[in-house]
Amino acid sequence: MTGMAHRIYIGVLVAITILVFLFLCYYGYTYYGVSFEERPFHPDHNTLKPSGAYGHGLGIVGTILILIGVFGYIGRKKKKFLPKVGVLKHWLEFHIFLCSVGPLLILFHTAFKFGGIVSISFWSMVAVVLSGVIGRFIYIQIPRTIQGRELSLVEIKEMKGNMSKSLNTKYGLDDVMYALLIAATQEEFDKTERGFVSRIIGRIQFNRDIRRKVKGLLDQTTLTGKEKRGVMKLVGNEMTLNARIGRLQTMQMLFKYWHVAHLPFALIMLVIMVIHVAITIAFGYKWIF
């Protein structure tokens, strides 16, 4: 999948998620907006209540999406099945998509009324979604191949060497200018005696200053505008790798701890979901068939 195709793929998934949310809100806003005591008198109550045709259907579809998202990704990641179908990175993105839309449907299936043992499953699902967002942030901080395999520190440093070589050979920079550009990208951000927020702001300003410095150096060369943009892109990649190398071990450790929080909530959600479905069937609740 090319870069443009991947951006379109992500854009479509995000657009579908937003459209589903807007449709659910639009279709049932008059019902969900009234109090629980008044809902039985609402004309759409028999349809939108959790056991209604529409509400029940949302629960079924949402559950199926979650199960496909969870077990599909696990099967691809552990190579239990589907070992050669698609890139792991794209499977993760599809897993996130299904496990975002699925809980969204289940949220509207409950009609925003939570109680009993099902509430444990629901809040576990919320915890899974929120921890998934955090996990995604940590995941993208760890450099990986296009297939999604985590890169080692040696491989990352090798990538840095290849970028540096491109600056020297592809763009024909002389030794002095090459040395100045490399020195600029190797500057280290001073994060001592800074709070969390001030470090973020300081890092943004630090990166902006380096880019401004590199742009000033490039203005002294005879490179074309297109070539300068190419150099700036390489320099940006170099700076990104420098930052990721600095926090690589921290992110790897956080990712391990993240699994400790994410997986138990997911298991609790799935177990209670199975119990809920079994009880529903045992009590004779049926959908459209």
Place of tokens 């509400």: 55
Q: What pLDDT does 19 receive?
A: 96
- pLDDT-derived band at 84, boundaries 50, 70, 90: low
Among 189, 216, 211, 213, smallest CA distance to 201 is for: 189
Structure tokens at 265: 């909530």
Structure tokens at 132: 């998934």
Q: What pLDDT does 61 receive?
A: 93
Tell me how far apart the alpha carbons of residues 269 and 131 are, in angstroms, rounded to a whole number.
Answer: 13
Query: Is 128 or 68 the better-scoring residue by pLDDT?
Result: 68
Burial class of residue 122 (count of CB atoms within 10 Å of its CB; 0-12, 13-18, 19+) = buried
What value, to the nearest 5°, has the Cα angle with vertex 49 and ends 56 and 132? 60
Query: Is 257 or 289 the better-scoring residue by pLDDT?
Result: 257
Q: Are 60 and 287 in contact (CB under 8 A)?
A: yes
Tell me how far apart the alpha carbons of residues 207 and 271 are, in angstroms, rounded to a whole number.
Answer: 47
**CA dihedral of residues 40, 121, 74, 256 (deg, nearest 10):** 140
- pLDDT-derived band at 79, boundaries 50, 70, 90: low
Tell me how far apart the alpha carbons of residues 93 and 271 are, in angstroms, rounded to a whole number.
Answer: 24
